[in-house]
Amino acid sequence: IPPTFEAAEKCKALFIKEAGEEEHEDLDEEMGEPALPNVMETAFYFEQAGIGLSKDECYYIFLAFKNLISVQPIQTCRFWGKILGLEMNYIIAEVQLREGEEEEEREEEEEETVAEEEKEMGEGEEEEEQKEKEPEPPKSTYKPPPEIPKEANGTGANKYVYFVCNEPGKPWVKLPPVTPAQIVCARQIKKFFTGRLDAPIVSFPPFPGNEANYLRAQIARISAGTHVSPTGFYQFPEDEEEEEGGDTYEENPEFEPPPVAEMVESLAMWAHHVKGILKQGRCVWINPAQKSEEDEEEGEEEEEEEEEEHQEETGQPLLTLISEDEGMKNIPAWTAQASTNLIPEYSIAILQSNRWPGAYAFASGRKFENIYFGWGHKYNPESHTPALPPPAEAEFPTEPGITEAADPTVEEELAFKAAQEEALAEAEEEEEEEGEDD
Amino acid sequence: MEALSLPAALSLVAGGGAGLSPELRAALGASLPLLQRDYRFERVWFWGCIQGVRGAYYIAQGLGPDRAAPRSRLYSMNCLDWSLLTPATEEMLALAEEVKGRFQGDPSFEYSLAEINPEAAARLVQSGKEPVMKEEARLIATIEQIDRAVGIVPRGAFVKTPLGSVHENRHFEGLSLVEAKKLSSYFHFTEPTNLKNKTLLEKADLDPSTDFLNSLEHDIPQGKGSWSIQLEKGGSVVVLRSLLWLGLTFYHVPMTKQFGYVYFGTGEKNLDLPFML
């Protein structure tokens, strides 16, 4: 079967309305806001700036979202963007699941990890019995730095859940939550995506995961760096105490959209609404020196030796204006333009990110949206320099017994012997003198 | 890409997310035919757009009867008023390699070479010129580099006459689906460099009228190459994206005469390519 027809069949399948959908439509009206994002409307606005996919592809994506919503328990959903790959591309949906569903998944994950640990303990015991017969090699004293725990689902870098598919019509795959180690490593490597989620990432430093994890880490970095909204659209809720580390925001009902000319002129009219990721890899800093209950007994002595001062990292608070984003060399972090100069009454404000080429945002009245079309890499004014391998570790601690010293040469030995004989001769003379005194 | 088939072509290339707004498309539709009339080009191609920090350059190319002759290039900031660019010189190309970073978006901006490359600056001062490089010159050099490195056409689309001139092959019906997936079916549309290196056995298979250009399969890095080939819409369009100059997209509809390439990008070479594969 020629592939053209297969793909056409899949696209046609998107258009077929299932029998049970009429019931769902009644339910949706009761629920309130529709979960399905209006992809075509967003595409229209971005098209005014020359950004976006062809109308056909947008419509297929629209229908694919409809399928996603009917299959997964989704509360809100948004078209995040498209990341290009070598063999296939990724279409990415940013989703918030309904609350009950996430807890079920967490329980499943915990059960899985507990089962794995039990298996490992069982295997460890068998290995120990075998090892007792042989003399054991010296144990390494290397303690890896404590693993920084990932953020809980629904907060920080894991605030949203992401679903990806290669093409509209193909099944949606859920990406796993991101861990700080993955973000820290993703900052140091630069790799093209192949388009297959299970592809390994071969890099240095070795990436802890496969392409699905790398994709999720890049999505987290792009969201944290480039998701912006008009200043004032979101505000901190007044009921709660205003902590600087606040993660929640709500829409401001009294927001009055400023005119487009102002939004283009001054970058202070835009604000980030996603928390930035700290160097640690999380949005909220955690002190890795706080060990869990199991390790406390072993770790008490070690804590005294290894008191490294982990400086608390603070990032920018949540609704920071983007005018505070640093530029690189002489390039500002953002470029703002109006979509048209010929018809100013209907133009919209467009923001392009220079730090993440491919990230765009538009604002027109109360409507705004962010999107990403690109290869998924950050802009680096200099060339990418991969991390150097760490220096070779010492095999054993240096002690006098095993340090090498140069053997004395023949002249040195003779000189030493002569000096010793002189010392002996002097000692004998002293003894003789003392003897004579008696 | 051909000016006449611009709307259809843009929708085929839109998979990368870059395109033109309706206003610019309408402006191009009006100004490109006028360019053809004023400069007496036989063909006008819309080459693409280089994004500067403060503005974008839209580039058009005009071709004369011999398609392989040096092309005239024009640029515009709004797709309406076009300015002719001087042909690129080797000196410009050498200097442009030194200048790194984004284009500023202002054609009269001057890059101070004294900071970037003191030797080149010293040479310029000795020959009596100022040690600066204008953004316009960098633009010319970049377009020439991109065309030389990644300007591609399908095999058989152009023929070379015995007199040496090159024009479109009216018998070109398009590549087949099987051929379209192979890198060897596409050629660089510049002076060939490695045709002479082929063995006599290989040369015997070549057809001198159609195989007079470098094919893509010898592009460094070998193996994965510097191209990403994808079949979109289930194989009805084959899209090649260059990994060396990110933003160059080539499309071809197999079994038809439609093909073309366009550049939407920042005008910077991707020197990190070996680390990224």
Condensed to tens digits (0 to 9), the pLDDT of residues A237-296 reads: 765 544 444 566 777 777 788 888 888 888 888 888 888 888 887 877 777 766 444 344
Helix axes B135-150, B90-98, angle to 10 degrees: 100
Pairwise CA distance, residues A273 & A65, whole Å:
24
Residues of chain B positioned with their CB less than 8 A from the CB of A199: none
Pairwise CA distance, residues A89 & A168, whole Å:
11
Q: Exposed, middle or buried: residue A100 (CB in 10 Å: 0-12, 13-18, 19+)?
A: exposed
Max Cα distance, chain B (Å): 59
Contact flag B243-A192 (C-beta cutoff 8 Å): yes
Contact flag A87-B228 (C-beta cutoff 8 Å): yes
pLDDT tier for residue A71 given thresholds of 50, 70 and 90:
confident
Nearest CA-CA distance, residue B72 and chain A, Å:
26
pLDDT at A232: 83
pLDDT tier for residue A299 given thresholds of 50, 70 and 90:
very low
Pairwise CA distance, residues B145 & B73, whole Å:
13
Match 């063995």 to its residue by tokens. Answer: B199
The residue of chain A with its CA nearest to that of B15 is A53
Higher pLDDT, A299 or A395: A395
Q: Among A21-30, A99-108, A384-393, B193-202, where is mean pLDDT lowest?
A: A21-30
Q: Which of B49, B135, B272, B277 to mutate to test the interface with A (most CBs of A within 10 A)?
A: B272
- Report percent pLDDT > 90 for chain B: 11
Condensed to tens digits (0 to 9), the pLDDT of residues A126-163 reads 445 454 567 777 777 777 777 877 777 777 778 889 99
Q: Where are the domains of chain A?
A: 28-102+148-242+254-289+317-374
Question: What does the pLDDT average to over B193-212?
Answer: 72
Mean pLDDT of chain B: 83
Higher pLDDT, A181 or A98: A181
A363 φψ region: left (φ > 0), alpha (ψ -120 to 50), beta (else)? beta
> Is pLDDT at A118 greater than 50 in this prediction?
no
Half-sphere exposure of A414 (CA within 13 A, CB side): 3
pLDDT at A234: 82
pLDDT at A311: 64
Q: Which helix (H) or strand (E) holds A35?
A: none
pLDDT tier for residue A338 given thresholds of 50, 70 and 90:
confident
pLDDT tier for residue A382 given thresholds of 50, 70 and 90:
confident
Residues of chain A positioned with their CB less than 8 A from the CB of B24: 50
The residue of chain A with its CA nearest to that of B247 is A374
State in Å, rounded, how far the first CA of chain B is from the last one: 29
Q: Which helix (H) or strand (E) holds B250?
A: strand B248-252
Pairwise CA distance, residues A417 & B147, whole Å:
82
Pairwise CA distance, residues B230 & A98, whole Å:
36
Question: What does the pLDDT average to over B102-113?
Answer: 83
Question: What does the pLDDT average to over A89-96?
Answer: 91
Nearest CA-CA distance, residue B100 and chain A, Å:
8
Q: Among A239-243, A257-261, B14-18, B29-33, where is mean pLDDT lowest?
A: A239-243
Match 């997310």 to its residue by tokens. Answer: B17
- Alpha helix stretches (DSSP H) within A293-373: 293-305
Pairwise CA distance, residues A332 & A351, whole Å:
12
pLDDT at A339: 84
> Is pLDDT at A92 greater than 60 in this prediction?
yes
Between CA B264 and CA A64, with CA A57 as vertex, the angle to 5 degrees is 135
Residues of chain B positioned with their CB less than 8 A from the CB of A84: 15-16, 228, 241
Number of H helices, E strands in chain B: 9, 14
pLDDT at A146: 76
pLDDT at A91: 93
pLDDT at A132: 57
B202: helix, coil or strand? helix
DSSP letters, A164-230, are EESSBTBPPEEPPPP-HHHHHHHHH------S-TT-B---SSPPSSBHHHHHHHHHHHHHHHH-EEE
State in Å, rounded, how far the first CA of chain A is from the last one: 122
Q: Does B114 touch chain A (CB under 8 A)?
A: no
Contact flag B21-A49 (C-beta cutoff 8 Å): yes
pLDDT at A301: 39
Condensed to tens digits (0 to 9), the pLDDT of residues A302-330 reads 333 333 455 666 667 777 787 777 777 77
| ipTM of the shown complex | 0.88
B131: helix, coil or strand? coil
Q: What amino acid is encoded at A20 in this protein?
A: G
Handedness of CA A21, A23, A27, A33 (dihedral sign): positive
Nearest CA-CA distance, residue A393 and chain B, Å:
26
Condensed to tens digits (0 to 9), the pLDDT of residues A341-377 reads 888 888 888 888 988 988 999 888 888 899 999 999 9
Contact flag A51-B18 (C-beta cutoff 8 Å): yes
Peptide bond into A400 cis (omega under 30): no
pLDDT tier for residue A2 given thresholds of 50, 70 and 90:
low
pTM of this prediction? 0.82
Q: Where are the domains of chain B?
A: 3-85, 90-136, 154-266
pLDDT at A310: 58
